[in-house]
Amino acid sequence: MKLLQKTNRAYFIVSGTAFIIAGIVFYFVISYFFKDQLNEKLFHDIENIKGTIKKSSTIPDYYPFFEIREVSKQPEQSFKATDTLIFDSFGNKNIPYHQISLITVINDKEYFIAARDTLIEEDDLLEVISIVTGIIFILLLVSLYFINRRLSMKIWEPFYKTLDELKEFSHDKPGFTLSSESELYEFTELNTTLKKLTEKVISDYQSLKRFTEDASHEIQTPLAVIQSKLETLMQDPDLKKDQAELINSAYVYALRISKLTQTLLLLTKIANDQFPDKKDINMAELIEEKIKMFEDLMTEKLLTLGKDINTDCILTTNFFLAESLVINLLGNAIKHNVKNGVLNIKLDKAHLEISNSGEALPVSPMNLFDRFYKTNMASDSPGLGLAIVREICRLNKWAVCYVFEDNIHKVVVNF
């Protein structure tokens, strides 16, 4: 849920609750005011009736609005306000009335006097007031909701603009800037902090990039010298067997280090998008060429090769990256295959699928494309092949996934 939606919903709930409570309180206040005014009117009516009886000693007949009768041997009773129902013979129904009654002495006689007024008009008036007030409250609530929404969108506009600009941020674009401005102090501070942060990220990335490239290049020279020296020593006829084994072991590890640095350098170049040259590549021809390169390894493992290759699959990408993709996928499928296993290659305009037979992975496949991740820790592979595949796919905006079904490992690249 978006922040603006959450705040508007909270505002609507709180405001609606407040308006409902206010409406209920308003209704009871108005009702109390009407009753108070009605009591005051009926009180004056009773005083007028008492004055009339005192002057003329006659009992006026204004039933049902007034009820006056003589009573005997009853103590005086002060004003008493009640609601009552009186049957209306014309309408054939009970009519609600509010009345004030008392027992008082006038000209040495005791009278019961009750002054009444119908509550129908009051109920109708209260109903009209409640409806009008409710409509006003609803209109006010809806108006405030949309005004608050419009105002919030205006206030938060710089934030969303900054967010859109951050989505375009890339560590390999040193010219990145935040152009959004705001009159609000908080957003200004946010932009200032983000600007410093992005500049620091770009600076650190550029420094790391230069260090990686320089280190990889500098390491290659001494490694080449070491390999050359070791090769020379291995050709010495006076070399003893144990010495030869030690030198051979050192030579193997030197080769592994050389290959590792070259692979890390390749990963760095891919991440830095240092392969801008693109052209149309016939993937079928490229795959057939690399299959021939791995023929000896497939023969050694007695693998059965299955091919379903569409010759019309043309991709626009960097040739070196496409070549690295195919080599790493084929090499991985052959290296981790079993003897007398199968190797299947499927290619069409939508995807490339390379599958090989083998047992289930002893570890989780979730990290299969991570750097230095190996299913067999005893393997001399650095565990960077599928990491290179993932980086190549990321750069070309392709999707890569791994599936294991019926003892078959599948790596699928969706173009």
Mean pLDDT of the chain: 79
Mark whether 87 and 216 lie in a shared domain.
Answer: no
Mark whether 284 and 366 lie in a shared domain.
Answer: yes
Number of structural domains in the chain = 3
Average pLDDT, integer, range 7-11:
75
Average pLDDT, integer, range 127-132:
78
Mark whether 307 and 212 lie in a shared domain.
Answer: no
Count CA atoms closer than 13 A to 260's CA, side-chain side: 15
Q: What share of the chain is helix, strand, coil (3-state, %, to 5)?
A: 55, 20, 25
Mark whether 9 and 109 lie in a shared domain.
Answer: yes
Residue 174 lies in a domain: no
Mark whether 17 and 133 lie in a shared domain.
Answer: yes
Average pLDDT, integer, range 30-54:
83
Q: pLDDT at position 17, please?
A: 83
Mark whether 305 and 241 lie in a shared domain.
Answer: no
In three-state secondary structure terms, 354 is strand
Mark whether 101 and 63 lie in a shared domain.
Answer: yes
CATH of the domain at 199: 1.10.287
Boundary-marking domain end, from 234, 255, 271:
271
CA separation, residue 408 to residues 315, 333, 344 (Å): 27, 10, 10
Residue 163 lies in a domain: no
Q: Bridge-partner residues for 113, per DSSP?
A: 68, 102
Euclidean distance between CA atoms 53 and 382, whole angstroms = 118
Residue 214 has pLDDT above 60, yes or no: yes
Residue 377 has pLDDT above 50, yes or no: no
DSSP state of 359: P
Residue 121 lies in a domain: yes
CATH of the domain at 402: 3.30.565.10
Is pLDDT larger for residue 203 or for residue 302? 302
Q: Which residues contact 86 (CB under 8 A, 6 or more apart)?
A: 64, 94, 95, 97, 116
Q: Alpha helices of 168-240 — where are they, by DSSP H?
A: 185-234
Residue 149 lies in a domain: no
Residue 291 lies in a domain: yes
- The predicted model scores a pTM of 0.48
Average pLDDT, integer, range 347-367:
80
Is pLDDT larger for residue 90 or for residue 113? 113
Mark whether 311 and 210 lie in a shared domain.
Answer: no
- Token pair belonging to 245: 């084994």
Euclidean distance between CA atoms 22 and 65, whole angstroms = 35
Q: pLDDT at position 365, please?
A: 62
Boundary-marking domain end, from 242, 271, 300:
271
Q: Which domain covers residue 353, as residue numbers?
A: 279-414
Boundary-marking domain end, from 85, 119, 140:
140
Least confident segment among 5-14, 259-268, 311-320 = 259-268
**What crossing angle do the helices spanning 241-271 and 185-234 adopt, rounded to 10°?**
150
Residue 157 lies in a domain: no
Average pLDDT, integer, range 193-215:
77
Q: pLDDT at position 38, please?
A: 82
CA separation, residue 412 to residues 241, 356, 382 (Å): 47, 12, 22
Residue 378 has pLDDT above 60, yes or no: no
Region label for 108, one of left (φ > 0), alpha (ψ between -120 and 50) or beta (otherwise)? left
Mark whether 64 and 114 lie in a shared domain.
Answer: yes
Mark whether 267 and 295 lie in a shared domain.
Answer: no
Mark whether 317 and 239 lie in a shared domain.
Answer: no
Residue 179 lies in a domain: no
Mark whether 110 and 202 lie in a shared domain.
Answer: no
Residue 256 lies in a domain: yes
